[in-house]
Structure formats: C-alpha cells, structure tokens
C-alpha cells in the first residue's frame, strides 16, 4: 500500500503522460516498423517504468517507517518473492541473473537489495517521528503489563491448585488409620459372631447326643 501511495505522491501517472509526445512523433513520422517499436519500448518506455517503480519503493519504505511499521519487512517481502518464484533445480548463478530489462518492474532480487540499503535511512526517519516513539513505548508498556498480569494469574492458580492437592493428600492420609481401625473392628465382631455360632452348634450337637443315649437306655 505504501508503494502505491508513493506512485500517487510522485505523480507518476502525470509523468507517464509526458511520454505521449514521443508516441505522437512516431505516428506523425510514420515510423510504424516493428523494429522502431521495439527500440522505443526498450530505450524509453521500460526504463522509465522501472525508474518509477524504484522511486515508489523508496517513497513507500519511508512512509512505512513514518507510520511506525518495521521497514526491514520491505526487503524481506521481496526476498520471499524471490524464493517463491525460484526454480528449485536452478543454481545460485541463475538466481543472480536479472532480466528486468525486458520488464516494466525491477527484478525481485534487485528490489530486495535496493530496499535493504534503505532500511537504516528509514529507521532514522522513524526515530525522528516523536509520535511513533511514544506509540511504541505505550504499546510495549501495555503488552508488558498484560503479560505480567497474566503470568501472576497463572502463578496464583497454580499455587491454589497445589494447596488444594496438598490438603486433599493430608486428609486422605489422616483417614487411613481410621479406616484401618474400623475394618479391624468389623473383623473382630465377625470373628466373635462366628465363634458364638460354632459354640452354639457344638452345644446343640451334644444335647442331641444325650437325648439319643437316654432314649436307647
């Protein structure tokens, strides 16, 4: 967006209109041969277009910095474009070749290098923008405060959970002896009941034997 604003600020559309007299001259003189068209295209039109694109890049990165954005992202963008359009089977030597002389725009590699050389100047422009430094300070303070508050919240939540787990562990440990004592008491009662049943059965058996002996006599 900053690049396109740069075109508007530099009045590149109006500059392009200044090339119309050459086109009219070509038409008036009747120079309609394909060769002359190519000469006009490569000698005037394409270089003029590339110079406008380079100027728009220059203005754009300065606008980017003035608006409090990181200007170093501009060359990274064109580096990414270079990598995206690169042939995986091509070597580094082929990547170094720039065929922008047949294009209306500079090559991605050339734009990357040009913008990379403007980063320091753009950062200086950004440092001179006092409102930008003020805004950056406020943003960092806001982010730091929220990060600190979130960190404290997580610490408190972790401490509360640890305390709850410790209390539960202590409660469980305290209940274990009571549980063991209760189980032992139940076992003791069961043993007494079983002994009583056995003794009763034995007494009943003795009584029956005595009755049988008496009846036989």
- pLDDT tens, position by position, 32-72: 667 777 777 777 778 888 888 999 999 999 999 888 888 99
Q: Tell me which of 4, 150, 190, 208 is the catalytic residue.
A: 4
pLDDT in tens, 104-155: 888 888 899 999 999 999 988 888 876 777 777 777 777 777 776 676 777 6
- What percentage of the chain has pLDDT greater than the value 70? 63
Q: How confident is the model at residue 182 (pLDDT cuts 50, 70, 90)?
A: low
3-state SS string for the chain:
CHHHHHHHHCCHHHHHHCCHHHHHHHHHCCCCCHHHHHHHHHHHHHHHHHHHHHHHHHHHHHHHHHCCCCCCHHHHHHHHHHHHHCCCCCCHHHHCCCCHHHCCCCCHHHHHHHHHCCHHHHHHHHHHCHHHHHHHHHHHHHHHHHHHHHHHHHHHHHHHHHHHHHHHHHHHHHHHHHHHHHHHHHHHHHHHHHHHHHHHHHHHHHHHHHHHHHHHC
**156 pLDDT above the threshold of 80:** no
Task: Indicate if 94 belongs to the active site.
Answer: no
């Amino acid at each position: 967006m900053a690049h396109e604003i740069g075109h508007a600020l530099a009045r590149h559309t109006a500059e392009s209109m200044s090339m119309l007299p050459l086109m009219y001259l070509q038409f008036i003189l009747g120079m309609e041969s394909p060769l002359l068209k190519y000469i006009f295209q490569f000698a005037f039109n394409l270089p003029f277009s590339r110079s406008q694109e380079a100027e728009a890049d220059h203005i754009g990165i300065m606008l980017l910095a003035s608006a409090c954005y990181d200007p170093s992202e501009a060359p990274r963008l064109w580096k990414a474009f270079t990598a995206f359009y690169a042939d995986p089977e091509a070597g580094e030597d082929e990547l170094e070749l720039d065929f922008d002389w047949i294009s209306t725009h500079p090559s991605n590699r050339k734009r990357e290098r040009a913008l990379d050389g403007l980063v320091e100047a753009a950062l200086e422009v950004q440092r001179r923008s006092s409102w930008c430094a003020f805004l950056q300070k406020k943003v960092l303070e806001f982010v730091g405060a929220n990060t600190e508050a979130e960190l404290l919240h997580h610490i408190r939540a972790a401490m509360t959970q640890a305390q709850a787990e410790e209390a539960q562990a202590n409660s469980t440990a305290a209940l274990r002896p009571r549980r063991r004592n209760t189980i032992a008491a139940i076992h003791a009662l069961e043993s007494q009941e079983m002994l009583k049943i056995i003794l009763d059965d034995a007494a009943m058996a003795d009584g029956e034997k005595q009755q049988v002996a008496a009846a036989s006599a």
